[in-house]
């Protein structure tokens, strides 16, 4: 049975550990995620973006996730909508069986973000579904960024306090300097941990780190060895992920690491045998590589052995 992400994250918030929220776009990634949670004895959040839903079909997204949840009944698991762009998108997901949604109205004004988030919270809570919202813009902080520029794009802790009180949102994604994808930082990686601590102190709810892929050395090397190009790529260092968890982050959104790990293995098989066309020969090593990334991450974030 799927449960709300709030159930999983309130426990993580109380006990100060992080739970990976892993994106999937197909059966193979979803299978790898569930098998990892099983092997690491970790609670789990699986999430699908609107693009992933369009690609798989919402019935398949919900159906496959429910079947895996049935297969592993001991794993506390939530199905979360990642970056819902409208009330309608969140409503559709909830009606289809998602147990958690994100309404991402962070590009609107504070007032508009609050208004749309409140509407989603009302609807979601009446269905027992949890809600995530975002404040600030996801972007890397340059070394020479001014205080004013930082204030203009990152989360404002005082606004976060008001936003959480008024919207009754279950968990919040504060922008503290991460961005999506494989190219997160131009210079040295930098996150605003002081801002994070202030948001946690003023809101005291589970917090979310978007753009949390680390691009570990082993994954980068594997992709490069397969002939892939990741020049200039930079992820969030492991130490930063740990510090983020210590600072109050409980949901750690991870997609890019899984994509790179998966595709490196697919590329290798294609390079090594250009007459191979049995899909399973590509996907079996790809799933092993993804599992290894996820199990390591569950240990790092502290969710392993929390079932």
To ligand 13P, the closest distance from the beta carbon of 235 in angstroms equals 7
Which chain residues interact with ligand 13P by CB under 6 A? Answer: 23, 82-83, 180-181, 210-213, 253-257
Give the pairing type, strands 44-49 and 171-174: unpaired
Task: Indicate the residue among 27 and 72 with the shorter CB distance to ligand G3H.
Answer: 27
Sign of the alpha-carbon torsion through 69, 71, 73, 76: negative
Closest CA to 118 of 168, 173, 171, 174: 168
Taking CB under 6 A as the rule, does residue 51 contact ligand G3H?
A: yes
- The count of residues interacting with ligand G3H (CB under 6 A) is 8
To ligand G3H, the closest distance from the beta carbon of 178 in angstroms equals 11
Residue 65 binding result from ligand G3H, Zn ion, ligand 13P, none, given CB thresholds of 5 to 8 Å by partner type? none
Task: Indicate the residue among 162 and 237 with the shorter CB distance to ligand 13P.
Answer: 237
DSSP conformation class of 101? E
Closest CA to 257 of 220, 230, 227, 226: 220
- Of 49-57, 110-118, 149-157, 243-251, the window that binds ligand G3H (rule: CB under 6 A) is 49-57
Residue 136's φ and ψ, nearest 5 degrees, are: 95, 175
Closest CA to 58 of 36, 89, 29, 37: 89
Counting Cβ atoms within 10 Å, is residue 270 exposed (0-12), middle (13-18) or buried (19+)?
middle
Taking CB under 6 A as the rule, does residue 13 contact ligand G3H?
A: no
To ligand 13P, the closest distance from the beta carbon of 111 in angstroms equals 24
Tell me the chain's radius of gyration from C-alpha atoms. 19
Taking CB under 6 A as the rule, does residue 213 contact ligand G3H?
A: no
Taking CB under 5 A as the rule, does residue 297 contact Zn ion?
A: no
148 belongs to the catalytic site: no
To ligand 13P, the closest distance from the beta carbon of 134 in angstroms equals 10
Q: In this structure, are residues 81 and 89 in contact, taking their beta carbons and an 8 Å threshold?
A: yes
Residue 254 binding result from Zn ion, ligand G3H, ligand 13P, none, given CB thresholds of 5 to 8 Å by partner type? ligand 13P
- Active-site residues, by number, are 82
- Interface ranges with Zn ion (CB under 5 A): 210, 253
């Amino acid at each position: 049975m799927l449960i709300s992400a709030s159930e999983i994250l309130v426990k993580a918030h109380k006990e100060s550990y992080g739970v990976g929220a892993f994106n999937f776009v197909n059966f193979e990634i979803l299978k790898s995620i569930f098998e990892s949670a099983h092997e690491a004895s970790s609670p789990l959040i699986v999430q699908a973006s609107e693009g992933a839903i369009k690609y798989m079909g919402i019935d398949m997204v919900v159906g496959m996730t429910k079947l895996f949840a049935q297969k592993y009944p001991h794993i506390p698991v939530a199905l979360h909508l990642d970056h819902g762009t409208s009330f309608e998108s969140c409503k559709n997901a909830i009606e289809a069986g998602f147990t958690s949604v994100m309404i991402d109205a962070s590009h609107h004004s504070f007032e508009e973000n609050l208004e749309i988030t409140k509407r989603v919270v009302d609807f979601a809570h009446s269905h027992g579904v949890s809600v995530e919202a975002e404040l600030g813009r996801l972007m890397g902080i340059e070394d020479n960024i001014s205080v004013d520029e930082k204030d203009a794009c990152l989360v404002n802790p005082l606004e976060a306090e008001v936003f959480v009180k008024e919207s009754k949102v279950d968990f919040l994604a504060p922008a503290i300097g991460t961005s999506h994808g494989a190219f997160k930082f131009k210079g040295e990686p930098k996150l605003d941990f002081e801002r994070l601590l202030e948001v946690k102190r003023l809101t005291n709810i589970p917090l979310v780190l978007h753009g949390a892929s680390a691009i570990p050395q082993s994954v980068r090397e594997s992709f490069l060895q397969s002939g892939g190009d990741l020049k200039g790529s930079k992820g969030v260092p492991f130490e930063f992920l740990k510090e983020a968890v210590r600072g109050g982050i409980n949901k750690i959104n991870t997609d890019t690491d899984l994509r790179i790990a998966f595709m490196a293995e697919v590329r290798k098989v294609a390079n090594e045998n250009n007459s191979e066309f049995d899909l399973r020969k590509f996907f079996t090593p790809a799933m092993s590589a993804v599992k290894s990334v996820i199990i390591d991450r569950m240990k790092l974030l502290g969710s392993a052995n929390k079932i």
